[in-house]
């Protein structure tokens, strides 16, 4: 698995037996890791070419959404959508939705993935030729309670006159696109802003004056993706600087959904106070101190939430910061050698425990949300959307080769995406949990 693979090399790096002549080998492998990860995370355009895509990072200022009058929506709920869940009584203890199992559900999916234009081509598995559909017919059943079906009407009523921003990496985008499909099958949305690479997008549901946007920010803090050093590409993170592409917009955001983590595993150089303070996965020749990416991730999430609290304007109404926990991948073998994800069913409860990386990355987010919540005011709420276990049980829900159209047409080696999620698919459940988080 990806994470095991990276862990192995992290250990190698720390290994006292690592001889100088092996450094070169390690160096080369890091290059391979960086290149292959970029391939997946950068979301190359779905061209028929299998060449690696290394586009420059795209930075674009966001405009504010145009105001529009609210119009309540009337109509029938469709498909798997359900009416707004009845208000949970104040006395009822909150249910732990993170503990449960996937159970068969014969009902049709909540939207037609082929018809949803919010989906970047890479996740439209059916449109790309995936013909097996069993992975669609499951629902998440928490152990001690029921998870209400996703109600687009309840979501949009909450989002009336509000702006929800998804901030993070391509998994943040995956979740945002799922939400757009869930909501736009109920009420039409207009795409009002989009940058050339679809890394920053904004839609308005005019019937509800509700805005959903996506901000690309894979490190949450300021960073430079894959900058080149001696022929190897490293991320550069500036631990004491924030990513103003989204931070500067906080005043216009009512709910932020933060989702990041995968990029922290890639070789990275860390800056603070204008100098390099550490590195993860650097070639030994750089003489940088090897630093655990777990510690860096904890630091980054903590600093980001503290800064959100610090910048909060007193005059502002309620604000919510939801943090989606780490979403595991399911490469069967060395993912950079085209490892597939061939499972066609979810894991049963207890069949697949969380790995070390997944456990740690999840815990960092859950604890950071709790710490920030304890320090924040009553109108600024922090919550973890704990998807790690339910996502870990879904090896069947990734695009695999269907990350691009007709993957087997050209012959040649096929790249598999066993990290992101097909839509419709398991990622829709992330938004089921998000809805319960905002209503709670
Ligand atoms: C989904 O949408 C596509 C494209 O609009 C359409 O061809 C297809 O029939 C739809 N599928 C279902 C099940 O409605
Ligand atoms: C529409 O929603 C935005 C927030 O996204 C808000 O600033 C604006 O005042 C709303 N417009 C109206 C007419 O209420
Ligand atoms: C790393 O340290 C060695 C030994 O101190 C030195 O010779 C070399 O120039 C240093 N490399 C860099 C890139 O600073």
Q: What is the 3-state secondary structure (H, E, C) of 305-344?
A: HHHHHHHCCCCCCCEEEEEECCCCCCCCCCHHHCCCCCCC
Mutate to test the pocket of ligand 3, among 232, 234, 285 (most ligand atoms within 8 A of CB): 285
- Burial label for 48, CB within 10 Å (0-12, 13-18, 19+), is exposed
For residue 379, report the distance from its CA to the centre of ligand 2, in Å.
19
Smallest CA-to-CA distance from 154 within 87, 199, 95, 62 is with: 87
Determine the Cα–Cα distance for residues 25 and 285; give it in Å rounded to an integer: 13
The CA–CA distances, whole Å, from 109 to 88, 105, 320 equal: 26, 9, 28
The CA–CA distances, whole Å, from 27 to 121, 293, 339 equal: 34, 18, 22
The CA–CA distances, whole Å, from 72 to 69, 94, 167, 206, 438 equal: 10, 30, 28, 10, 20
Among protein residues, the one with the nearest Cα to ligand 3's atom 13 is 286
Q: What is the pLDDT of residue 228?
A: 75
Smallest CA-to-CA distance from 57 within 283, 175, 233 is with: 233
Name every residue whose Cβ is closer than 8 Å to that of residue 303 and which is 6 or more positions away in sequence: 221, 239, 240
Q: What is the pLDDT of residue 93?
A: 65
Cis peptide before 162 (omega within 30 of 0): no
Catalytic residue among 153, 386, 417, 428: 417
Q: Evaluate whether 211 touches 67 at the Cβ level (below 8 Å).
A: no
Q: What is the pLDDT of residue 80?
A: 54
Kindly identify the ligand whose nearest atom is closest to the C-alpha of 285.
3
Smallest CA-to-CA distance from 29 within 9, 4, 53 is with: 9
For residue 211, report the distance from its CA to the centre of ligand 2, in Å.
9
Tokens of 17: 């037996």
Smallest CA-to-CA distance from 259 within 152, 123, 361 is with: 361
Q: What is the pLDDT of residue 167?
A: 98
Catalytic residue among 81, 98, 151, 170: 170
Q: What is the pLDDT of residue 440?
A: 84
Kindly identify the ligand whose nearest atom is closest to the C-alpha of 192.
2
Q: What is the CA radius of gyration of the chain?
A: 21
The answer to whether the CB of 123 is under 6 A from ligand 2 is: no
Residue 191, number of CB atoms within 10 A of its CB = 13
Kindly identify the ligand whose nearest atom is closest to the C-alpha of 210.
2
Determine the Cα–Cα distance for residues 416 and 408; give it in Å rounded to an integer: 11
CA angle 279, 420, 240 (to 5 degrees): 30
Among protein residues, the one with the nearest Cα to ligand 1's atom 5 is 115
- Burial label for 200, CB within 10 Å (0-12, 13-18, 19+), is buried
Taking the alpha carbons at both ends of the chain, their separation in whole angstroms is: 36
Is 420 known to be catalytic? yes
**Pocket (CB within 6 angstroms of ligand 3):** 285-287
The answer to whether the CB of 108 is under 6 A from ligand 1 is: no
SS3 280: strand
Determine the Cα–Cα distance for residues 389 and 149; give it in Å rounded to an integer: 19
Q: Report the number of secondary-structure helices (H) and strands (E) in the chain.
A: 9, 13
Q: What is the pLDDT of residue 338?
A: 80
CA dihedral (277, 282, 284, 285) positive or negative: negative
- DSSP-derived secondary structure letter, 403: G
Q: What is the pLDDT of residue 121?
A: 63
CA angle 170, 171, 174 (to 5 degrees): 90
Is 417 known to be catalytic? yes
The mean pLDDT values, 10 residues at a time, for the chain of 440 residues are 39 34 40 42 34 24 29 42 45 82 97 88 80 96 96 98 97 97 96 94 98 98 86 90 97 97 94 96 86 97 97 88 97 85 95 96 98 90 97 97 82 87 96 95
Mutate to test the pocket of ligand 2, among 68, 157, 209 (most ligand atoms within 8 A of CB): 209
Kindly identify the ligand whose nearest atom is closest to the C-alpha of 206.
2
pTM comes to 0.82
The answer to whether the CB of 163 is under 6 A from ligand 2 is: yes
Mutate to test the pocket of ligand 3, among 234, 287, 288, 289 (most ligand atoms within 8 A of CB): 287
> Which atom of ligand 2 is the closest one to the Cα of 211?
5
Q: Which residues of 300-339 are buried (b: 16+ CB within 10 A; e: fewer)?
A: bbebbbeebbeebeeeeeebbbbbbbbbbbbbeeebbeeb
Helix (H) or strand (E) holding 383: strand 380-385
């Amino acid at each position: 698995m990806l994470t095991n693979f990276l862990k192995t090399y992290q250990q190698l790096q720390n290994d006292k037996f690592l001889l100088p002549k092996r450094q070169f080998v390690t160096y080369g492998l890091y290059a391979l890791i960086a290149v292959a990860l970029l391939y997946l995370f950068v979301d190359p355009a779905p061209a028929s070419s299998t060449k690696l895509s290394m586009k420059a990072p795209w930075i674009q200022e966001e405009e504010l959404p145009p105001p529009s009058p609210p119009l309540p929506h009337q109509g029938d709920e469709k498909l798997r959508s359900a009416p707004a869940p009845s208000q949970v009584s104040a006395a009822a203890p909150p249910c732990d939705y993170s503990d449960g199992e996937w159970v068969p559900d014969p009902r049709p999916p909540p939207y037609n993935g082929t018809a949803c234009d919010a989906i970047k081509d890479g996740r439209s598995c059916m449109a790309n030729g995936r013909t097996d559909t069993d992975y669609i017919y499951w629902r998440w059943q928490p152990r001690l309670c029921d998870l209400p079906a996703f109600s687009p009407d309840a979501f949009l009523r909450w989002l009336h006159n509000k702006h929800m921003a998804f901030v993070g990496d391509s998994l943040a985008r995956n979740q945002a696109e799922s939400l757009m499909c869930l909501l736009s099958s109920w009420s039409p949305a207009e795409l009002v802003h989009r940058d050339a690479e679809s890394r920053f997008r904004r839609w308005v549901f005019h019937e509800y004056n509700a805005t959903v946007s996506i901000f690309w920010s894979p490190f949450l803090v300021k960073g430079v993706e894959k900058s080149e050093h001696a022929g190897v590409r490293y991320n550069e993170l500036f631990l004491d600087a924030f990513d103003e592409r989204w931070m500067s917009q906080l005043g216009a955001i009512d709910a932020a959904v933060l989702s990041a983590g995968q990029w922290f595993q890639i070789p990275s150089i860390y800056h603070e106070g204008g100098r390099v303070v550490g590195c993860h996965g650097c070639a030994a020749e750089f003489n940088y101190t090897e630093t655990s990416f777990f510690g860096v991730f904890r630091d980054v999430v903590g600093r980001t939430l503290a800064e959100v609290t610090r910048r909060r304007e007193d005059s502002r109404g309620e604000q919510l910061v939801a943090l989606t926990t780490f979403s595991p991948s399911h490469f069967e073998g060395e993912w950079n050698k085209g490892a597939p994800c061939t499972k066609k069913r979810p894991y049963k409860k207890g069949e697949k425990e969380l790995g070390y990386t997944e456990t740690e990355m999840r815990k960092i987010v859950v604890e950071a949300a709790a710490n920030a919540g304890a320090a924040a005011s009553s109108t600024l709420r922090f919550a973890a959307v704990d998807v790690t276990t339910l996502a870990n049980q879904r090896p069947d829900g990734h695009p695999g080769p269907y990350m691009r159209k007709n993957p087997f047409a050209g012959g040649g080696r096929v790249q598999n995406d066993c990290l992101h999620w097909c839509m419709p698919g398991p990622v829709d459940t992330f938004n089921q949990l998000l809805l319960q988080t905002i209503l709670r």
